């Protein structure tokens, strides 16, 4: 089972979105965010390469993959085989320009 680690940036963005969901849509939607996080982490832990490669980041040195949650957000991550760890690096609101995602991932 692989470890799943969130970067500070991704973790902060996640909780920002949960907070916004709570204010805009209520407890039910914010709970969905939390449930999606747990389900995604469980899947990544068991199958670190199970989500599709992110086409916008194919030119990067790491094999970035993405998971779509709640229909409009992509969780960006990569698997480090040597440490058996999945690093979640960003959350991208797909309504933003694709260029912003490519700029955010260094």
Q: pTM (2 decimals)?
A: 0.88
Between CA 67 and CA 65 the distance in angstroms is 7
pLDDT surpasses 70 at 89 = yes
Neighbours of 77 (CB within 10 A): 26
Position 106 scores a pLDDT of: 65
Domains by residue range for the chain, with CATH? 3-104 (3.30.2310.20)
Between CA 16 and CA 94 the distance in angstroms is 16
Q: HEC string of the chain?
A: CCEEEECHHHHHHHHHHHHHHHHHHCHHHHHHHHHHHHHHHHHHHHCCCCCCECHHHCCCCCCCEEEEECCCEEEEEEEECCCCEEEEEEEEECCCCHHHHHHHCC
Averaged pLDDT for residues 60-83? 93
Q: Binning pLDDT at 50, 70 and 90, where does residue 88 land?
A: very high
Position 79 scores a pLDDT of: 98
Q: Pick the closest to residue 74 from 45, 50, 51 (CA basis).
A: 51
Each residue's pLDDT tens digit, 21-58: 899 999 999 999 999 999 999 999 999 999 999 998 99
């Amino acid at each position: 089972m692989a470890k799943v680690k969130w970067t500070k940036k991704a973790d902060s963005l996640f909780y920002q979105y949960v907070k916004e969901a709570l204010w805009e849509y209520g407890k039910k939607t914010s709970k969905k965010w939390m449930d999606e996080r747990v389900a995604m982490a469980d899947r990544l832990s068991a199958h670190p390469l199970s989500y599709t490669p992110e086409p916008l980041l194919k030119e990067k040195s790491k094999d970035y993959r993405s998971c779509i949650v709640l229909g409009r957000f992509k969780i960006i991550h990569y698997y480090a085989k040597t440490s058996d760890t999945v690093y979640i690096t960003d959350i991208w609101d797909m309504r933003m320009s694709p260029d912003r995602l490519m700029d955010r991932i260094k």
